[in-house]
Structures are given as C-alpha cells and as structure tokens.
Structure 1
C-alpha cells in the first residue's frame, strides 16, 4: 500500500499519537525506557516487524487516523538513531544530566559524525506497506540529540547541532521517498534550553527540514510519564508558560505542525494563539497517568483548543510517548482519543465516520 490519500487525510480532527506505544512483553521488558530486547538475530528482526504490524492494527482498530510505528523497532527515540552514526562511541560512556532533570549514561562523540546508510528507511517502508492511511515517522531533533550525548570532539553544541541537522535532513528526504506523509522532529529540549533554542536551535531544525515536500512537525513536551519528569513538573508552578519562548519563533518558521502537551497539564490553552496559522497537534491524552480519559474529557480539551486554532488545523493526539505505560492502558487511551474526536467532529457538523 502506498500514499496517504485516504479518507483519514481529509477528515476533520484527524487523530494521531506522538511517538511510542508499549512494546509486547515478548519483544522487550514492559514499562521500561531503554528496555533491552528479548530476542536476537533473525528472531529479533521478525519480532520487531510483528510488533510493528500489531501497532498498526491496534491504531486502526482504535480509530487513529494518522498511523505511526509506535517506535516498535527502536529502544529509544534518540539513541537508536545515534547508534547508527559514525563518530559516536557507545562503549566509552559518560554520565550526563538529561534536560537538566536526571542523570543517564550516554555515548560519547569521539570524531566527525556521519551517517553511513539510512537508519529508519527500511522500517518506514515496511510501515507504509501495512496501511493506506497517512503515516508519520518521528526523528530526534538536533538539540535533543546533543542533550543525550557527551561531546569530546566538537566541543561546541552549535557545531554539532548543524552536523546532526544535515544528517537528519538526509534521513528525512529518504523517509519522504519511502512514502512517509509527516516527518516529526522531537525537541523536548526546546522547553528547557531557551537561549540555545533562540540562538541556533530553531535554525538547526530548519536545516533538518530543508527541501522536504512531506509535512513537517516539531514535538515539544514535558517528557515521558516517568518520575524524573513528574517531579520536575511539580516545580513549575500553577502555569507552565515555557511555550511562550518557542511558539513565536516556530510561528515564523517553515515547520507545518507544532505538537504540544495540554491535557491535565498546567499549560494555558491560550498560548496556542502564538502559533496561529500552524497546524496544532494537541496532546489530549495524559501519558503520566494510568487513568483512562473519558471521551467527554478528550472532547472538552479539544473544544477549549478550538477557541485558539481553526478546526481544520487541529490534530488530536497524546501528550508524549506511551512506552512506560501498560499496553492495555495505552490502547484504551487511544480509543478514548478517537471517541472524543468523534464527539467534537459531530458537534461541528462533520461525519463521525
């Protein structure tokens, strides 16, 4: 199956997910980030493809319109891409502070970084073959890649960001050729390193999307629903206004879609006004809680967003990836997301089909 010219691509309020879904327990340990694979060799290749097929099936069954791979073929949204690059030593690891929140053992840049071959293109082509719905693929953004490494070669975050942006652009162009309709760049670092984002982060992102015909998205959130992130959120006060730093810059950028956290957060909904004219992928599902949203809760979040974004530019989604959640919880949340979108679609006079 090829292309994304289906009913889903023309539907009002098309639903999507940001990134990861939980992996089946036979593939990787559940509810753990960076979980090691349970299989090896050819069995691992087959297992990843089986998990990807299942992720597509569940998204379609649960009413998701823009389908992704659920990151079933990768251990982590950043490091799986980096481990395929030359110039990065995964044996020589160092402990760094990730987004100024928690410590992690990360690989080290020891030489000039380069991409010797496509990283995700084969997996994206496999995803494309599973559905005629629009498909989305996520890549790490340049600034977030830097924040997940120790740099002993360039010793300049800006220089390394530009190298990564060029590599990401190469990958994105090949993903587009493989039939990907939306290419998403994950940049949670934009919610932390404001000066760097303004000075070179947005420009590096623009380099990563240069020349693409596929729609482009940037995802900026407050992180997975893990303790380090929820503890950090508890320090942010009654209003989370970090998007005030990035949204005005993104509104002027060439990025088509801005993905943000909303439901059960303290992000003021009126901040969406700062990206007026862009498509908004709105987080209407909380990934930091195992409580399943009701369709009415999702619908209420979407209604409030429609005060600040036109209905034909709104994409209901999740706040972030759902890898740390139990599978049943994550899949039931997908059902709630699509059910809430159907309620609002009907209110706007559009078919629920």
Structure 2
C-alpha cells in the first residue's frame, strides 16, 4: 500500500464496501421513526434505536473480514439532508419554527402543519438520487447561507460523522467516515426562494470548503485515519467550470493541515474527465465504479498520478442482486496492479440499494438462489477478492472458480418462453403507433364528456390497518380467496363512495389489493420472483421490496380487470384502470443481466398490452399506465441517452398502442428533473400526463410550454409525501399558475402522487380543498 511518512501506521483500505443498508434487516428503523412521528416514541428512544442499528452494522462488517469499515452511512432520513444539517444549511423558515433539532430535521424533509394549528411550512423538494429509485432531499442555498459545522439532528455535541466515529471506536471498531463530497452537495442543491438571478449554489464552494476542512480536522483529532468523500455527480456530464470546482475543492482539502487520508469515491458510471483531475490531486485514494463504468479500466494506465495512489476498484455490483463473476472481477483487478500505487477492492457503490441478506429468504427456487447475492453476500465476495489479490492461495483460487461456474450455471438456467420470443420477433412499427392525438381527443371527448380542469387522483388510496391485515391473513392461510375478495370489494365500495361524495370527476378503485405498484404485477407474471425480506429504502421511512426479474416474462391471465370492473360497476363516472408501465417495472425490479434491457422491456410491454385490451373489453374507458421511473433510468451521460430513450418509449407505446382511439391513456411521473425528458414525455404519446409539480412550484410547466407540449397534463397541485393538508387557497394559487401555462381544456387537477402512504384524516380534507379549488378555477376560466 502507499506510504505516507506522516502517518505510517494508517491502515490500508484493502477490501471494503462504499456503504451499507441502514433500515435494519427487518425495517427496524422505519418502525422506530414512524413511532416517533406518531408520538409513541421519545427522541431518546429513537436515538437508542439508531445506536443499536449502527452497532450491529459496524460489528458485523468488522467481523466479516473487510479491512476497512465505512462509517457515517446511517441516516434517520437521508444522507443529503444530513449533510445540509452538518454544514448548518437550514433554511430560515425551518429555523423560525423554534423546534428541537430533531424536529427541525424532520420538518425539512416532511414539512410542518396539521389540523392542530401548527404553523404551516412546506418541506424541501425531494427528487431521485441520480439514476436510482432512492430519493434525496434537495438543499436550498442562497448567497446568505453561512456554513459552519453543526451538531446532528439528535442534538449531539459534535457533527454527526465525528459523533458516529467515536461511537464506533467505543465499540472497538475503526471506521472510515463517509461524507457526501462538497462539490456534489452543491451540484445537488438548488437556489433558495428569493435568491438573485444568476446565483448558483456552486458559488458557495469556497466557504463550504472551509467548513469541510474543519470537519476533517475534527475527524482527524478524533482518530480517523481515512475519510471517504463521495462525488457521484461526476459520473454525469459536467462543464469545465464544474471540473475546475472539483480541482479546487481537492487542492484545498488535500492541503488542509491535520487531516485524515482522503478517499474520493465516484460511482454510478465512469468518472470521465473527472478521473484525471482527481489523479492529479494530492488525495490518497480514488474509488472507481468498474461495473457501471468498465471503460475506466482502460483509462487508468494512462494516468501517471494514480501510480502514487490507492485505487479502490468497484468490481462487485452494489445495485443489483446477481452474484459477481469473481474470476472476471479478479482478472480486471489484476490488470490494474502495475498502473496504481496500490489496489483495493470494493463494491461499485453503496450497498444501500440492495436487500440485507439472502439467507433470510426461504422462497427462491434453488437454481435462482444460486445466482443471487444480497448485501451480506456481496461483502463476502469483496472479502474473497481481497484475499485473492493479497496472496496466491490455491483454496482461494478454487473458491473463485466455483463462484464463476455458479454464475454460468445460473444464466444457463434462466426461464425461456419461446412463445413470447416469437411475438417479439413478429413486432412491426405499427404495433407501437396510435392514431394522431387530435383524432383520439375528439373520440375521447365524445365518449367521456368531462369538464375542463377535470379532477382525479393518481391511483392508490390509504392502505388502512384493515387492508394490510386482510393481505397478511391471506398469506398466512387464515383467510380464503373468497373472504379476501369480499373485504377488498368492501374497501373499493368505500373508496368509490368517498370520491363521489367529494365530487371527483374521474375515479379510481384505490388499489387496496396492491402492496406495491411493481410487486403486485411481478407476482402475477411469469419470469419474476418475489422476496420475503428483501426491503430496500426508497425515501425516509418508505421501503420497497423490488422483485427479481430473472427470466422471460409472460402474462398467464388478467391481473387487474376484476377489481377495476367491479369499481366501474358501482358508479356512472369513469374509473381508471391502473397499470404500472414497462420501464418502471424494470427500474423498480432487480433485472436480469443476461440480455439487453430493451428485450426485457418489450416482454413486459406485451403483457401490459394484453391487459389493456382486457380492461377495455370490461368497459374501462380510461387506462393509466404509470411511468414514474422514465427519468430515473436516463443515463447520466448525454451520449448514452438516445439509445435508452428509444427502447423506453418503444416499450411504453407497445404497451398502449393497442388501445382504441376512444380509450384515454394516462401516464404518471413523479420526483425527477423533468426538463431532461420533456421530449420523451411527448414521445410517449399518452393522452394525459399527470406529473409531480408541487414541491418544485410548478417549474415543469415552463419546460412543457417551451417544448410545445400539446396533450392533456395534470401538474400535481399538492405534495402527498408531506403530512400537511393544503388549504383551498393554496391549491387555487397552484392552479392559477397552471392555467397561465396550459389551456383549461387540457389541464387536469390531481395530487402529486398516489395516496397510499397518507391517512384518511389527511386525504379527505386535502381532496375536498382540491375539488373546491378546481371548481373556482373552472368558473374563472369560463369568465
């Protein structure tokens, strides 16, 4: 390993992971946080639950054989929010609440305001973490933001990374604190409301670096030998000014006195021109993602600066659940040995994105199980690779070869459906094309007769304890199918009656039968497998269990028709059929890696196409095919985007183009930077697009207008991820802004997203205010 004469006893990185899941193997953090929000757990008890989870993670990783254990990867809500709190970037509206630190932290994430008269404060914006399904809280920065190291949300005496480093050290575990890199933090931030034109968060780099230098000094004083600074923003295209900021940042931090050694980690793709910038800097180590960006392996030998550094090779996939081809990974590592000062091995990114432990699962077929690796298994893969690089041991070599054979056996055993493959081969351009929008709109207006500013919701309604209990009893065998159907029909009756009473124009059945919008379909399609405990954090306390898409996909029969048709039988108003689109099903699953994603997406799309036809035959006049993940999968490099968008749009149109002209196709998108995919939204050719817009203050409408978008659009008029109930005036103000951009006859009125995570005590008044505001706007539009 590299020599540093000032700290000769510093441990080598050797084998490590860049981060680890933090919700707990059984979602212990979710339950603790939600109990705190509900007032059933004190701040001290929540802090104790966090300490227990951290201790379990640190001791497990320390005992696994890793030579370097990451620290500060725990969060009560989100690591970007943690960073904003660490540098005291708390917007004034949250400071003014005068809350304890922990409640200020949660107010930034969730907003503040309820029916008991608390002051009403909207939360920070939330959006997707690069091209993953994890959501982060977007910091708001202005020229007046004054950075300074600040105590963590739970009120510790020092900044969170220092407190957690000392906490681990007290357990006898030396950790490598992980911080979000300063440049990525600024690039992920947005100007605060009222910031002057031309201001950019990157303008604050120099004062932020002073704050980071002080945090590094405190970590060194506490005993930290290494600190990891994550800069994933540089896996995307960056300007010359942004690359210059990266150079300046690490010149400054590397020159800081009394600092730990620095590992700068880039992941989710090739660092591109950022890699030589970091190679020329004085940081001691660089982590590169050789799974998402394998081309970096060819660039590394040409960078002489790396011969003085540790290269941390991310050769074990941190984002998918397939076993690594360890002989291939070892060969990649071996090819780099002569080009760098020393070599360590790691996961490609944090293991935040995969479930905890395959051993907790009892369901997978043995042939599928042999192909899989969750977080704990991936740690073991990294450890084995590290052993292989440190010494030539025939036993280790044999274990590597055995792992490679398991990967090959698994791929050979993947389910194949020749009937589906024949249908794919027979597809022609007309299978992905509908009549022109103007013709469809006329047919739909005649059939549906909806008013301008039609009101609807996105699909799901609150999942009550009774609904969840019924699903649990069905799984446990205490409730038969007939009894379950009766209970679900009872819930649908309640939801339809509520919507009619509130005055909504287009209704939904509420989706009580669905625990998750992807898992539900995966459980009814061949080629998928579900997990029992494969939970992954999506945002805050929200966790999902992504299904595993391991073979050819086929529909064996209708999946949603029974529920939608029953709902439609209860009302004369149109009820939307609710489907999840092919891109989102791929994005929110762990997808097979043995064929191109375009082929897999088309297989899913064919199954959905058949479902659309069955919904039409059952009398459903509107079908919503949600694609909230369209932007999520957009490649970080512009050069890679056209190919992705081609197959993504093709798959959506394949799923929907079989619908009749008079059938109105809706789609929904949320929590992303939509400006990047405006042309693609148009290319979906949906009749109506509902879209998250409340937290971003309707910013997407300007992008749509600039792009000449000419179909129906429903910008979300209130944020459902916050517990606050919007007033009628607030919704009316949002609608007034929307009407200035979109003609009333093409404008829909709806919440930002589905209502599953909210309670009826929030949903009913919010929808009542929304319908009343829509009626006001309708009158104003006429006059």
Q: How far apart are residue 95 of structure 1 and its match? A: 6.7
Give the one of 654, 659, 665 matched to 1:212: 659
Contact 1:248–1:275 under 8 Å retained in 2: no
CA distance 1:319–1:161, change in 2 (3 Å):
same
CA distance 1:86–1:332, change in 2 (3 Å):
same
Q: What is the match of residue 526 of structure 2?
A: 86
Moved more, 6-15 or 248-257: 6-15
Q: What is the match of residue 137 of structure 1?
A: 577
Q: Secondary structure at the match of 2:623?
A: strand
CA distance 1:266–1:307, change in 2 (3 Å):
closer
CA distance 1:6–1:152, change in 2 (3 Å):
closer
Q: What is the match of residue 109 of structure 1?
A: 549
Listed as ranges, the gaps of 5+ residues in structure 1 are 30-34, 223-239
Over residues 89-139 of structure 1, what are the superposed CA-to-partner deviations in whole Å (9 max), with x where a residue is unaligned?
A: 22598677869x997543323332111111011111101101111121221
Greater fraction of residues in strand: 1
Q: Secondary structure at the match of 1:117?
A: coil
Give the one of 145, 150, 163 matched to 2:590: 150
Q: Does 1:200 align with 2:647?
A: yes
Q: What is the match of residue 271 of structure 1?
A: 703
Q: What is the match of residue 333 of structure 1?
A: 766
Q: How far apart are residue 221 of structure 1 and its match? A: 0.3
CA distance 1:111–1:170, change in 2 (3 Å):
same
CA distance in 1, matches of 2:613, 2:718: 30
Contact 2:695–2:719 under 8 Å retained in 1: yes
Q: How far apart are residue 272 of structure 1 and its match? A: 2.8
Listed as ranges, the gaps of 5+ residues in structure 2 are 1-443, 636-640
Contact 2:495–2:510 under 8 Å retained in 1: yes
CA distance in 2, matches of 1:6, 1:332: 32
CA distance 1:206–1:325, change in 2 (3 Å):
same
> What is the 5 A alignment of 1:1-353?
9-28=449-468, 36-38=471-473, 40-41=479-480, 42-91=482-531, 104-152=544-592, 154-195=594-635, 197-213=644-660, 214-222=663-671, 242-268=673-699, 269-273=701-705, 274=707, 276-349=709-782
Q: How far apart are residue 253 of structure 1 and its match? A: 4.1
Q: How far apart are residue 265 of structure 1 and its match? A: 2.7
Q: How far apart are residue 11 of structure 1 and its match? A: 1.4
CA distance in 1, matches of 2:771, 2:528: 41
Q: Secondary structure at the match of 1:318?
A: coil
Over residues 152-211 of structure 1, what are the superposed CA-to-partner deviations in whole Å (9 max), with x where a residue is unaligned?
A: 475432211110011111101111121222211111212322236523211111111112
Contact 2:518–2:585 under 8 Å retained in 1: yes
What TM-score do you get using the length of structure 2 for normalisation?
Answer: 0.39
Contact 1:250–1:275 under 8 Å retained in 2: no
Over residues 263-288 of structure 1, what are the superposed CA-to-partner deviations in whole Å (9 max), with x where a residue is unaligned?
A: 23355131231352110022112101
Over residues 300-329 of structure 1, what are the superposed CA-to-partner deviations in whole Å (9 max), with x where a residue is unaligned?
A: 111111122111001100100111111110
CA distance in 2, matches of 1:198, 1:6: 33
Over residues 232-282 of structure 1, what are the superposed CA-to-partner deviations in whole Å (9 max), with x where a residue is unaligned?
A: xxxxxxxx7x21222222324421111111123355131231352110022
Q: How far apart are residue 7 of structure 1 and its match? A: 11
CA distance in 2, matches of 1:88, 1:254: 28
Contact 1:63–1:334 under 8 Å retained in 2: no
Q: How far apart are residue 88 of structure 1 and its match? A: 1.5
CA distance in 1, matches of 2:508, 2:572: 12
Q: What is the match of residue 229 of structure 1?
A: none
Q: Secondary structure at the match of 2:468?
A: coil
CA distance in 2, matches of 1:102, 1:128: 31
CA distance 1:249–1:57, change in 2 (3 Å):
same
What TM-score do you get using the length of structure 1 for normalisation?
Answer: 0.83
Q: How far apart are residue 330 of structure 1 and its match? A: 1.1
Contact 1:85–1:115 under 8 Å retained in 2: yes
CA distance in 2, matches of 1:339, 1:279: 21
Q: Secondary structure at the match of 1:67?
A: coil
Contact 2:667–2:686 under 8 Å retained in 1: yes
CA distance in 2, matches of 1:247, 1:291: 30
Q: Secondary structure at the match of 2:650?
A: helix
CA distance in 1, matches of 2:579, 2:708: 22
Q: How far apart are residue 9 of structure 1 and its match? A: 3.5
CA distance in 2, matches of 1:278, 1:8: 16
Structure number with higher relative contact order (C-alpha < 8 Å, ≥ 6 residues apart): 1
Greater fraction of residues in helix: 2
